[in-house]
Amino acid sequence: MKLIVSDVNRNYFTTLFAVAMLLVTAIPAYGQEEHREFYSRSIRTTNTGMYILGGWAITNMAIGAYGWSSFDGDTKYFHQMNLFWNTVNLSIAGYALYSNYRLDISAMGADEIMDKHTGTERILLINTALNVGYIGTGFLMRHLSGRSEKHSDLLKGYGNSVILQGSFLFVFDIVLYRILRSQRYDFMDNINVALLPDGAALRFVLPL
């Protein structure tokens, strides 16, 4: 009888050890796959934002080129600054899309994925603060235009343009930030990090 009990205990602990070892290897692999799927969605969202930014830039550049050559006074300078400003926007959008499409998500670990995603969120928050500064600078230029006879049209036109561009970027950055943050919160609330041998999901709710 003792021998039978001993064999049962040995088999029991052997099974537990095998399950534990399986979980140790399965949890990182399954968790990384979940992270890669999450980051694929994150990249698609960011790319959509860059297409919107690029479309805004191209539209402003086309209208700006026409307005610069067709109008006089502060309207001329308004369109001129729109053209100048959006060459930068188009460069940013183009570079971001180029980098994202070259990114090999399959070679990235879970920590690197979350670092990149949260890094994008931080950049958008910083840009939002900068956009407030742009808008303020635009209003300052409009104010100074009334004190300068020589550069009145330039300051007023540039000021109006900076207010417009800063306002668009403020809305753009804050909306994209909130979407990416919401995706991260949803992912962290619902992540599946392992599978048990019988196929049942072992579910963990990770802290925010």
Find, among 100, 134, 150, the residue nearest to 120 by Cα.
100
Residues in the chain: 208
Neighbours of 158 (CB within 10 A): 24
- The reported pLDDT for the residue numbered 33 is 80
pLDDT digits (tens, 9 = 90+) for 144-177: 999 988 999 999 999 999 999 999 999 999 999 9
**Domain residue ranges in the chain:** 26-203
Phi, psi torsion values for 124, nearest 5 degrees:
-65, -40
- The reported pLDDT for the residue numbered 62 is 98
Q: What is the pLDDT along the chain (208 residues), one digit of tens a residue?
A: 544 445 545 665 565 554 444 444 444 444 578 889 999 999 999 999 999 999 999 999 999 999 999 999 999 999 999 999 999 999 999 999 999 999 999 999 999 999 999 999 999 999 999 999 999 999 999 999 999 889 999 999 999 999 999 999 999 999 999 999 999 999 988 775 444 444 444 444 444 4
